[in-house]
Structure 1
């Protein structure tokens, strides 16, 4: 059994990943910015609840203290799932402030959570980090006219996921004792895309669950979806 923390887990992919990992017998913490929604989700799932706003240092610090106190100072798996899509403005109208707002959650949020929880991940054996990315963060996919990813122009979101991919490879290279990977859930029906994706949340969490449960000698520094490797 692993102790697992999932950010942004009160709905969508995070909630479904929590449900599946709980069903597999793991001890799961549902992190959510909104205390009421997070508590409702955790109670419905039978998980632990923790208030966690990835954009706020104090909130993440309190979460670290709470998890540490409950687990004896360790965390086995961190799933950086919290994310935002940003607006739908035409590319030429996207401002620096628009990009900053998306990066605050999708890039700086994972950095903040990872950095603050790192001592807990390193205190155990075989700590695991899963960064929930997107196929829209793939340079290969978004530049291929035959791929659906190339039809989307959302510079704040796509570049934020590309940045998260690079953070993944940097963390993996610097910390070989951890398993650090990023995953593309695929085009899944969630609030992030107005429930327009053709996949169910169960299908969308296949890669998340797989990478959350890798062994201590499992892969690190990889970018995968439910079918296998994704081109960077």
Structure 2
């Protein structure tokens, strides 16, 4: 996806949830690319101090307000990008939430609803809004940041079932994008597990359930995770990457 000449138009990225954690690190990594233009979507740009500083430093980041799963917000985001760039090459749908730490036997319905709205409805409405802009790219990608916990094959002992169920649904949604838009619109649509990254969300979970802490050898820094994600994205194609679920850290395919 990288450009090689100064006369080439920029590679246009959209990264949601870019104010902290993996999203911020992905935006920072992409902004190191000379021909990148990164639209960093955040809920409240006024409070995204680190991102604003990065945008000023690199000159390759545009902050945009985006509230997942608002359909109107997604449409406004797409309109702003169209006015400034005219196309989108890569969407990295990273914005997500984890609301609780309850198993399937006790999780409250409002946690299930909130998780599904943010982690599934949000990416779907975002895809719908930016599809016309993806169609203007020579090699468009739609990437969902998922979790290995969402695999229906790999059983993980995490009692965060509203999150896990919603991420499994995200996998399904992105697979549907592949099914209907891989050949028709040349879109490489796939999901990624970012690794065992110690973000604010992961720290809160481990504080709640210390017996389930990741062993040290599994832990990946936010920066290493972002570098791995960007490396995979830059090498991705519709044929070899699309319609699949990947471990970004080691590049292996995960079972749905």
TM-score by length of 1: 0.90
> Displacement, 1:216?
6.1
Task: Give the Cα separation in 2 of the matches to 1:98 and 1:221.
Answer: 28
**Cα deviations across residues 53-75 of structure 1 (Å, max 9, x unaligned)?**
12212221111111000012x11
Q: Kindly indicate whether residue 226 of structure 2 is the aligned counterpart of residue 205 of structure 1.
A: yes
Q: Kindly indicate whether residue 244 of structure 2 is the aligned counterpart of residue 222 of structure 1.
A: yes
Q: Kindly indicate whether residue 99 of structure 2 is the aligned counterpart of residue 99 of structure 1.
A: no
> Displacement, 1:93?
2.4
Counterparts of 1:66-215 in structure 2 under 5 Å? 66-72=80-86, 74-142=87-155, 150-176=156-182, 177-194=186-203, 198-213=219-234, 214-215=236-237
Change (3 A) 1:104 1:199: same
Task: Give the Cα separation in 2 of the matches to 1:139 and 1:216.
Answer: 24
In angstroms, what is the RMSD of aligned CA positions?
1.8
Q: Which structure's CA Rg is the greater one?
A: 2
Partner SS state of residue 149, structure 2:
helix
Which residue of the partner structure matches residue 58 of structure 1? 72
Q: Kindly indicate whether residue 43 of structure 2 is the aligned counterpart of residue 33 of structure 1.
A: yes
Partner SS state of residue 92, structure 1:
coil
Instruction: Say how many residue pairs are matched.
Output: 224
Task: Give the Cα separation in 2 of the matches to 1:187 and 1:131.
Answer: 16
The unaligned stretches of length 5 or more in structure 2 are 1-9, 207-213
> Displacement, 1:44?
2.3
> Displacement, 1:27?
1.0
Task: Give the Cα separation in 2 of the matches to 1:90 and 1:230.
Answer: 23
**Cα deviations across residues 147-170 of structure 1 (Å, max 9, x unaligned)?**
xxx211221100111111111211
Task: Give the Cα separation in 2 of the matches to 1:35 and 1:156.
Answer: 28
> Displacement, 1:100?
0.3
Task: Give the Cα separation in 2 of the matches to 1:60 and 1:5.
Answer: 12
> Displacement, 1:39?
5.9
Task: Give the Cα separation in 2 of the matches to 1:182 and 1:141.
Answer: 16
Which residue of the partner structure matches residue 145 of structure 1? none
**Cα deviations across residues 94-131 of structure 1 (Å, max 9, x unaligned)?**
12211001111101000010111111001221111110
Deviates more, 1:97-106 or 1:57-66: 57-66
TM-score by length of 2: 0.82
> Displacement, 1:210?
2.9
